Amino acid sequence: MPDLIFMRNLTCVLIFVAAFFLCSCEGKLIAEKKDLLTQILAKGELIVLTTNEPTTYYFDRDNNPAGPEYEMTRSFAESIGVVVRFRVYSSVQEIFQALREGEGHIAAAGITVTEDRLAEFDFGAVYQTVSEQLVCHRNGKYIIRPEDLQKLEIVVPASSSYIDTLTGYLEAYPDLTWQVDEHLLPAQLMEKVWNGEIECTVCDSTIVDINRRYFPELAVKYNLAEESQLAWMFQKKNASLLQAAIEQWFVGFKESGEFALMQEKYYGYIEVFDYVDVRAFRRRIKQRYLKYNDMFMAAAEANDLPVSLLAALSYQESHWNPRAKSPTGVRGMMMLTQPVAKSYGVTSRLDPESNIHAGAKHFSRMKKRIGLDVPEPIRTWLALAAYNVGFGHFRDAQKLAVRHGRNPNCWVTLKEILPQLSQKEYYSTLLYGYARGNEPVRYVTRVRDYRDMFEQFIVNDELEEE
């Protein structure tokens, strides 16, 4: 990794030096001196224009900046040896205008590459492909054929690629209409659909996947466009060196595995949407969880764990049912085996308080056994897998990863390796033998999903008694 970063830096420095010192026959600097990359390097700062959304840039539960665009732009800035500064806008339309007026160097806000935009701006490497989806209330009209779109009230954000997509339908379906909202972002329009204030909107599939879990009555009624490409956008004038530097950085970002880690961090826990499960989870927060909130708070604090993680772990195990029992004999809120319960002094696994505290201690011990040198949140994900499959099987999976020449402390790797524990060619060579290796992968995904929804409900005060 250090060598890769060094080569990126060295290449960019050489580009800068070449641009600075090449002169015309009159002794004046050639046009590349004014290239955006030259300006960024000279200033020592990359100014990024973005929006405040889960798919772009936001502050996490610890008030630290986060988001896919944050991770990527920070990595690019580091690769050319500058710091990054973000300017946050309320809409894509505002970002476009700010870019035109030179208020920043690049726009990084999940921006789709379109022909109209290419006529005015340049783009960096395509980093993600999404679908553009029509989102309406699940009880709304059925949309079977594209001509059914003509029946709808559709509202889309101003300056969005969705306008271009809808315009493409007009020739065949001239009665299709839509309204443009000058102020709201796609996720905010989705909430208006959920509240019944508007009938439908259009969003990227990534935005839909994240927000649909918070607004479960929403439904994807139609895929308007497949394979829309997202990329950073910047002014067309004098941007050739910047464009080349971004493309070179992105090659290294993918080859190093950093891109896969980022995708896993922000999208890896989102499964196929399950309306019934999400509704049940929200209902059980009030019907079941609130009775045990103080117990979870105390156990989380005693073991230095986020209460949202502990609550999500317990929901995945027992749906917060203190009398839960599995066919294998594990019991209670945290579904403890008899030996584990005994090791933590639990005399009755049906007692919710002692069960929750023992489960919290057991999970905390798993995290310590994973190793303090493994960074968060990866250490938590690995500990969740070990909690589910057992530490012996987990170590077997790590050994398999090493055999394959992979990093045994990387969740992206373990997600691929764990299912091999159920394949005879692999488990027959391991100390602890067969295990249902797909189960811990799904387990980690579900816990992460429940935790994310739980935290959103806390923000929206849904933990209060009605």
Tokens for 236, please give them: 């067309």
Angstrom CA distances, 337 to 303, 340, 397, 431, stand at 20, 5, 22, 21
CA distance 434 to 134: 44
CA distance 125 to 267: 20
Neighbours of 49 (CB within 10 A): 26
Q: List, in order, residues 6 or more apart from 175 with CB less than 8 Å away.
A: 150
Residue 120's identity, in one-letter code, is E
Residue that is written with structure tokens 């102020």 in the block: 183
Helix (H) or strand (E) holding 452: helix 438-459
Q: List, in order, residues 6 or more apart from 186 with CB less than 8 Å away.
A: 157, 160, 201, 202, 203, 204, 207
Residue 461's identity, in one-letter code, is D
The secondary structure of residue 356, as a DSSP letter, is H
The alpha helices in 201-337, defined as continuous H runs, are 205-211, 240-255, 258-267, 275-287, 293-302, 307-318
Q: List, in order, residues 6 or more apart from 52 with CB less than 8 Å away.
A: 58, 88
Question: Of the candidates 40, 22, 136, which has an alpha carbon nearest to the alpha carbon of residue 79?
Answer: 40
Question: Of the candidates 152, 290, 295, which has an alpha carbon nearest to the alpha carbon of residue 224?
Answer: 152
Catalytic residues: 317
The secondary structure of residue 28, as a DSSP letter, is P
CA distance 360 to 334: 8
CA distance 243 to 229: 16
Residue 42's identity, in one-letter code, is A
> What stretches of 144-232 adopt beta strand conformation (E)?
154-157, 179-181, 200-204, 218-230
CB 137, CB 217: distance < 8 Å = yes
CA distance 60 to 71: 13
Tokens for 213, please give them: 């879990």
State phi, psi for 422 to the nearest 5 degrees: -100, 5
